[in-house]
């Protein structure tokens, strides 16, 4: 089954956020844009580079009204320990969800069952709880938060401009397309 346009499955989890443990549920997503940023594990190699990159651009996502949730199958306690131990992870101001049962990870279909770890999965969720962007990487391939920021802007633009679509490499402020019979074969 394709995950695009599907609803986020109900969940409830503990997260480490701004020095506290908090509970995050699927109802927290209602009415705002969200990003779920799955990664294999705390205290690893590629993961801190990605999470640090996301932390650097987090203020830009916040300006767009987007909440970022990083998720691994570690516990929220492990997230705190990693936050306390790593200068890169100390920069994180977004919630770090612990998913030790793997329920959320399986709900987004990014669980590596044999290892109990998540693939590198990135999902952009609209205010109605529908997945609009899904990208899954193998463990050795890191992601780029600036490209994700571009995709969020495109998803928000399309959502607020019915009848328009964003072409390849579209950036905010550039021309969009209005699909019609007149464009067929002319692009």
Instruction: Determine the Cα–Cα distance for residues 184 and 132; give it in Å rounded to an integer.
Output: 25
User: What is the reported pLDDT for 1?
Assistant: 52
Say yes or no to pLDDT of 119 above 90: yes
| Mean pLDDT calculated for residue range 138-158 | 96
166 among known catalytic residues: no
**What is the C-alpha separation between 16 and 78, in angstroms, rounded?**
9
pLDDT at 70: 98
Q: What is the pLDDT of residue 186?
A: 64
Query: Which tokens hold the place of 16?
Result: 């480490």
| pLDDT number for residue 2 | 85
Of 79, 75, 73, 77, nearest to 106 by C-alpha is 73
Q: What is the mean pLDDT of residues 58-77?
A: 98
Closest CA to 170 of 186, 157, 187: 157
What average pLDDT does the segment 44-61 reach?
Answer: 97
The pLDDT of residue 27 is above 60: yes
Catalytic residue among 8, 13, 24, 47: 47
Distance CA(55)–CA(135), nearest Å, equals 19
Backbone φ and ψ for 49, nearest 5 degrees, come out as -65, -40
């Amino acid at each position: 089954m394709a995950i695009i346009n599907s609803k986020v499955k109900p969940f409830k989890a503990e997260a480490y956020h701004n020095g506290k443990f908090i509970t995050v549920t699927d109802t927290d997503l209602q009415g705002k844009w969200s990003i779920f940023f799955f990664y294999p594990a705390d205290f690893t190699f590629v993961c801190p580079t990605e999470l640090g990159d996301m932390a650097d651009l987090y203020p830009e996502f916040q300006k767009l009204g987007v909440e970022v949730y990083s998720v691994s199958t570690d516990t929220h306690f492990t997230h705190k320990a990693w936050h306390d131990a790593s200068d890169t992870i100390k920069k994180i101001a977004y919630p770090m969800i612990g998913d030790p049962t793997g329920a959320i990870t399986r709900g987004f279909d990014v669980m590596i069952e044999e290892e109990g770890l998540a693939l590198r999965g990135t999902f952009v969720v609209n205010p109605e709880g529908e997945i609009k962007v899904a990208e899954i990487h193998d463990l050795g391939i890191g992601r780029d938060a600036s490209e994700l920021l571009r995709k969020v802007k495109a998803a928000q633009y399309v959502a607020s401009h019915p009848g328009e679509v964003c072409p390849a490499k579209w950036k905010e402020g550039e021309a969009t397309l209005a699909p019609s019979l007149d464009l067929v074969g002319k692009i």
